[in-house]
A and B are shown apart, each in its own frame.
Chain A
């Protein structure tokens, strides 16, 4: 099992460009998440999908959109990139249930917006 995979690993954009970050998991998990990691701020939740067909905003959703394409895939789109979106982006997934379940993380995408 590959677990959670993300593409690309690195990306450099110019202000105003758009791009989509891809995430896929092969663990048959229901819930998927997108976080951004910034120095000194830990991980902050951008969007999440509790189950296939649903998406919800997290703590810092502005400037982003998401698509839960199917149970395996959850993409994050930047329509018009800004320097403030320079960050490391992590995707995570977990099994939904009545109690909390461990989140498994992907390797991250390091994005620089010039």
Chain B
């Protein structure tokens, strides 16, 4: 069975710092990759997704992620975080043969200090 690992469980940054959240998955075949964000008290929203093509994907609110197939990774980045980025971030993977099924990582809680 596929699995998704997010190694940073809690991250605390000051405003304007750069952000990189790690995501690794275990499935060896074709995958679709996602980052979801959950702001305090809200439901999950799609931040960005990778299906194919350019491995550097741009999402909303200045976030981007890079798919590195050889490393089974899909790390999330933002050059300069804001207080409003305080949220929990989830990486998710859809294996090509898994229909519409998503496997989620454990999540990373980001706190940005003003």
List the interface of chain A (C-beta within 8 A of B): 4, 31, 35, 40-45, 48, 50, 58, 90, 94, 96, 99-103, 105-108
Given contacts A40-B9, A108-B43, contact A100 B51 (CB under 8 A): yes
Residues in A with CB closer than 8 Å to B36 are 105
A94: nearest chain-B partner, CB-CB: B100
Q: Does B35 touch A at the CB level, under 8 Å?
A: no
Q: Which residue of chain B has its CB nearest to the CB of A42? A: B104
Given the known interface contacts A31-B100, A100-B51, A100-B100, the answer about A41 and B106 at a Cβ–Cβ threshold of 8 Å is: yes
| With A105-B43, A105-B44, A106-B43 as contacts: A42 and B106 at CB distance below 8 Å | yes
Q: A40-B9, A43-B90, A50-B99 are in contact. Are A102 and B46 (CB under 8 A)?
A: yes
Tell me the dominant secondary structure on chain A's binding face.
Answer: loop
Q: Mark B34-62, 1 if CB is under 8 A from A, else 0.
A: 00100000111110010100000000000
User: 29 interchain pairs (CB within 8 A)?
Assistant: A4-B43, A31-B100, A35-B104, A40-B9, A40-B107, A42-B6, A42-B106, A43-B44, A43-B102, A50-B99, A50-B100, A90-B43, A90-B44, A94-B100, A96-B100, A100-B32, A100-B94, A100-B100, A101-B100, A102-B46, A103-B100, A103-B102, A105-B43, A105-B44, A105-B45, A106-B43, A107-B42, A107-B43, A108-B43
> Given known contacts A100-B51, A102-B46, A105-B44, is B104 in contact with A44 (CB within 8 Å)?
yes
| B42 cross-chain contacts in A, Cβ below 8 A | 107
Q: Give the shortest distance, in Å, between A33 (CB) and chain B (any CB).
A: 8
Closest Cβ of chain B: how far from A105's Cβ, in Å? 4
Given known contacts A48-B101, A103-B100, A40 and B43 CB-to-CB distance under 8 angstroms: no
Q: Say yes or no: B32 contacts A43, CB within 8 Å.
A: no
The residue of chain A having its C-beta at the shortest distance from the C-beta of B99 within the complex is A50
Residue in contact with B90 in the complex, picked from A42, A45, A99, CB distance below 8 Å: A42
